[in-house]
Amino acid sequence: MQDLAAALSARKQQQLYRTRLTLDGPQGVVVSIDGRDYLSFCSNDYLGLANHPQLIAAFKEGVDRFGVGSGAAHLITGHSYAHQALEEELAAFVGRPRALLFSTGYMANLGVVTALTGRGDEIFEDRLNHASLIDAAALSTAKLVRYPHNDMQALQQKLSASRARQRLIASDGVFSMDGDCARLVPMQALARQSDAWLLVDDAHGFGVLGEQGQGWCVDQLGAGTDNLVLMATLGKALGTGGAFVAGSEALIETLIQQARTFVYTTAAPPALAWATRAALRLVQAGDGLRERLLRNIDYFRRGAAELDVPLMASETAIQPVVVGAAGAALALSAALRQRGLLVTAIRPPTVPQGASRLRVTLSASHSIEQLDRLLGALADCYRECLHVVP
């Protein structure tokens, strides 16, 4: 039996220990922790919908109509009108024949990958993919082949060397820790050439990017072809929770039969789906929100450039400030926190060694004054924290 306490203290020593914050109230750009208000730059609530009055009203209406729990798995009696209506609206929104709800994005990725691949197959993944896609490959027992970040030439070489029966390429649409976007057009061309599935995880693009917020995948590939599997989450820009997979009729029917994270789990509360329908309507009418978010991204990037604070090549709401050492990232996060600002430090193993960073995420709800507070605090603290070792 391993010594857990010793492993935990080693982790502390390496500055890798993780703890939770406990919020007193709702998610938002200002959150309350232990009775103190903090200006937050670390939620994925990109459009400020998590505490939106219309979503709250829809959630309450959903509870009045459907009760609290779904009471069963979708294939037993857990599938309600709220789930069905939301699936149909999501499919129409992304222009695919069908959509299927999952309780979380993590489960959606596990479900799709294990339903489509198994022993003797190969899964090709970007090195920076989200943990859920990596775990999905491990669970499927297919061979996992990783390629350097966004390197389509490397992907092509690995695909042409493949002798597997079944090939699946899986990529984040917007990379969750770097904020840059996958090169989906060449990726889809490679997928079709090699008769592979292409699974795009659009957790951070859905609701935010594209014409009406349909996401990065739809923006780049349109309705797509039958090999394309779109996964997006509902707990980020949409402000509720859960996820969906959209694709062909045959794909969705296959997932209903075989995706174990769909079959063997209780359906999410119908009221949540009801609230998500309200979120989807706000997203569709959300050009103003997306414009405000873009304005905020642009303002923050320019401000950081003036301060000589290096950012990554991201045009999305995820704007990491790379610091390097885990200890330096923690020190900067702590210094900002003292000033009433909340920006989480992201450390290995979530990001590679030496690439610890503050993951600044921006929301349409941030005001220019709030962005100025962040920029001012970075001006005060960034440089001195760089020298913190290790």
Ligand X SMILES: *Cc1c(COP(=O)(O)O)cnc(C)c1O
For residues 190 and 195, what is the distance between their CA atoms, to the nearest angstrom?
8
For residues 220 and 147, what is the distance between their CA atoms, to the nearest angstrom?
21
Q: Label residue 250 exposed, middle or buried (CB < 10 Å: 0-12, 13-18, 19+).
A: exposed
Amino acid at 158: K
Which of 178, 201 has the CB closer to ligand X?
201
Tell me if 235 contacts ligand X by CB under 6 A: yes
CB of 350 to ligand X, least distance (A): 11
Question: Binding to ligand X (CB under 6 A): which residues in 203-222?
Answer: 203-204
Tell me if 43 contacts ligand X by CB under 6 A: no
- Applying CB under 6 A, the span of 76-84, 100-108, 143-151, 369-377 interacting with ligand X comes to 100-108
Residue nearest to ligand X (CB): 105
CB of 106 to ligand X, least distance (A): 4
* From 140, 176, 314, 365, the catalytic residue: 176
Which of 66, 206 has the CB closer to ligand X?
206
E-strand ranges in the chain read: 30-33, 36-40, 98-102, 122-126, 143-147, 167-172, 197-201, 228-233, 243-247, 318-324, 341-342, 345-346, 356-361
Which of 194, 266 has the CB closer to ligand X?
266
CB of 231 to ligand X, least distance (A): 8
Query: Contact at 8 Å (CB) between 89 and 280?
Result: yes
Question: Binding to ligand X (CB under 6 A): which residues in 110-139?
Answer: 130, 132
CB of 354 to ligand X, least distance (A): 22
Whether 176 is a known active-site residue: answer: yes
Which of 133, 378 has the CB closer to ligand X?
133
Four-point Cα dihedral 83, 84, 88, 93, nearest 10: -10
Which of 170, 190 has the CB closer to ligand X?
170
How many residues of this chain bind ligand X (CB under 6 A)?
A: 14
Cis previous bond, 349, omega within 30: yes
Dump the DSSP string for 143-208. Answer: EEEEE-TT-HHHHHHHHHT---SSEEEEEESB-TTT--B--HHHHHHHHHHTT-EEEEE-TTTTTT
Whether 43 is a known active-site residue: answer: no
Which of 41, 59, 106, 262 contacts ligand X by CB under 6 A?
106
Tell me if 171 contacts ligand X by CB under 6 A: no
- C-alpha of 377 from chain center: 27
Closest among 92, 142, 112 to 230, alpha carbons compared:
112
Tell me if 150 contacts ligand X by CB under 6 A: no
Which of 48, 78, 105, 210 contacts ligand X by CB under 6 A?
105
Cis previous bond, 390, omega within 30: yes
Task: Sketch the per residue contact string, 186 through 205, with ligand X: x for CB under 6 A, - otherwise.
Answer: ---------------x-xx-
* From 83, 158, 204, 366, the catalytic residue: 204
User: What residues are paired with 266 via a beta bridge?
Assistant: 73
Whether 79 is a known active-site residue: answer: no
Task: Supply 22's token pair.
Answer: 């406990």
Closest among 300, 150, 275, 283 to 215, alpha carbons compared:
283
For residues 356 and 132, what is the distance between their CA atoms, to the nearest angstrom?
20
Task: Sketch the per residue contact string, 237 through 256, with ligand X: x for CB under 6 A, - otherwise.
Answer: ------x-------------
Tell me if 314 contacts ligand X by CB under 6 A: no
Tell me if 359 contacts ligand X by CB under 6 A: no
* Residues with catalytic function: 176, 204, 236
Residues making contact with ligand X (CB under 6 A) = 104-106, 109, 130, 132, 172, 176, 201, 203-204, 233, 235, 243
